[in-house]
A and B are shown apart, each in its own frame.
Chain A
Amino acid sequence: MQRNSNRPLVVKIEKIIEETPTVRTLVFSDEIFSSVLPGQFAMVWIPGVNELPMSVMITLEKGKGAFTVRKHGLASTELYNLKVGDYIGMRGPYGNSFTIKQGKLLLVGGGTGLVPLVRLLTFLKKTDEVTILIGAKTKEEVFFEKLANQLLENNKHQVIVVTEDGTYGKSGLVTEEMEKLLYEKKFDAIYTCGPEKMMHKVVQLAHTKKLHVQASLERMMKCGMGICGSCCMGEVLVCKDGTVFDGEYLLSNKEFGFTHRNKAGILENY
């Protein structure tokens, strides 16, 4: 029977990876969700709790997909607390994906925003030269550093960790480090995902250097498939027109970096 991608596919959690004291990766088996495009997402059903839009994480095993979750709100904490053998459902995959360029690439990620960027790494050519900037508040919140190095072992690459409190790697904001890098090196394309204020700065910095930049965005989502309108940002719907947008478009959108809508649809400031 053909699968209805809009109805939750229910799977069992097979493995849980502790990434940091507040971040876990939940692994499950499914062919379709093991091979989505970077930037695409699933609506993840936590039965009896809620449903959340989540970027789909890679695994190093064939036929397996994963979600990397930080315990934050009520629903994400419930998801984080699930055990091996518990059920989750997922609809999708939904949304567009990054346009993958070749050459010298810069990836800038913060927190679980690293998920689509790590997936992007699996689509690169051996000839690409990759710099990935990983931003975190403090040492114990850093994750995916080892994984990024592992995925890039056959590429000329650099993984730079930046912590806000300077307890690990470079000290300061990830965008400050990016600004320095842009003076030292030339890049062919920049990709970013993370907190919107961070992405806004990344897009602005890339724009001043006239560099191709794309960002993967998040908004309050209910349907995830271009029906309910909850995720509208100006005239675009993040679930259907995005999640990935060109920097040039984003700078022309007056909501990007400043406002998002709440559950009722009222604009709130970031």
Chain B
Amino acid sequence: MKPDISTKVGPIELERPTMLASGILGISLEVFSRLYKDGAGALVTKSLSKEPWDGYPNPTIIGVKAGYLNAIGLSNPGAQYFAKMIESNKTVPIIVSLVGSIEEDFTFMIKQFENVKILGYELNLSCPHVEKVGLEVGDDPNLVRKIVKSIKSHSKVPIIAKVGLGSSDYLETVRAACESGIDAITAINTVRAMGIDVETTRPLLSNKIGGLSGSAIKPIAVRCVYEISSKFDIPIIGCGGVSNWEDAVEFILAGASAVQIGSAIGEKWTDIFSEINNGISKYMEKKGFSNINEMIGIAKKF
């Protein structure tokens, strides 16, 4: 019998364990539909803010060894515009990523999606390159508590918190989110980083500092998933440098119920979802796993 690659991230059910990571390709419903057809189990939108944001001037993304540096600056059309754009959605499993500074930002945005079909929200508590949002919120466990509690009381759909490596212990952010009723954790975001051009002696990104993504950060992300899964009873989505099925399986063995894919789309394009899904399925067949749940976190027994 063919292994079952559907998975559950807490209350969120996915046909396939490969999701589109936030920030990647996510600004039109048509692109989401295409990626869903190409095998993605769910699509996480770009992080939406209360107002539209232009983001930083270019250069906003450049390639480095084994990954990318980016400081896009959270460009997005704003929650209101986006909600209207996807209001006709019937079939595509969309998770809306939200970014803000205070509780009111989030409750305003959630109101916009009241009548839109979505799977849940992912709170961006970890963007490393924009002031007053992202990591600056995630680094403050008390603020995380307030925001998560407030959203939980307003939202009809599950809430995921996306955490990253900031200046405080990220496990305290996870603890604050878990104690406030979060449904799942996505780990991790990009890692603060920069690059300098030696010819012009200038920083490469217009914002100078950005976030590192891609294969370069995968072992860090696997470690975080393993740590969270060892310390907390919370469903986890692994994110950071997944570029083939072995990477995805590694995250699942560390404790993830699903994975998100971002940077690798740049090289393998939209075929990557079905490629990884098929690889996971073949691995499960070979190893005698009948469903994803049997594999989650089994590396912890050693």
Contact = CB atoms under 8 A, between A and B. Distances in A.
Nearest to B64: A7
Interface residues of A, number: 36
Given A6-B68, A8-B204, A266-B81, A232 B266 contact: no
Contact of A265 (B24, B60, B75, B262): B75
A225 B61 CA distance: 9
B257 interface: no
Given A222-B55, A227-B262, A265 B200 contact: no
A179 B31 CA distance: 35
Contacts of B34: 235
A51 B55 CA distance: 14
Interface in A250-270: 261-266
A236 to B, nearest CB: 8
A4 B63 contact: yes
Contacts of B33: 235
A222 B59 CA distance: 7
Given A226-B265, A228-B24, A232-B27, A8 B59 contact: yes
Residues of B in contact with A, size category: 35 or more
Q: Determine chain B's interface SS by DSSP, over half rule.
A: loop
B108 to A, nearest CB: 17
A5 interface: yes
Given A6-B62, A263-B54, A266-B81, A229 B204 contact: no
Contacts of B26: 229
Nearest to A86: B200
Interface string B49-78: 000111101111111110010101001111
B55 A263 contact: yes
B55 A237 contact: no
Contacts of A85: none
A92 B265 CA distance: 16
A48 B265 contact: no
Contacts of B178: none
A66 interface: no
A228 B63 contact: no
5 contacts: A227-B262, A228-B60, A229-B24, A265-B77, A266-B78
Interface of A: 4-8, 10, 43, 45, 47-52, 87, 89, 91, 222-223, 225-230, 232, 234-235, 237, 240, 261-266
Q: Which 3 A-B pairs have the closest CB atoms?
A: A6-B63, A51-B58, A229-B25
Interface of B: 23-28, 30-31, 33-34, 46, 52-55, 57-65, 68, 70, 72, 75-78, 81, 195, 197, 199-200, 202, 204, 206, 262-263, 265-266, 269
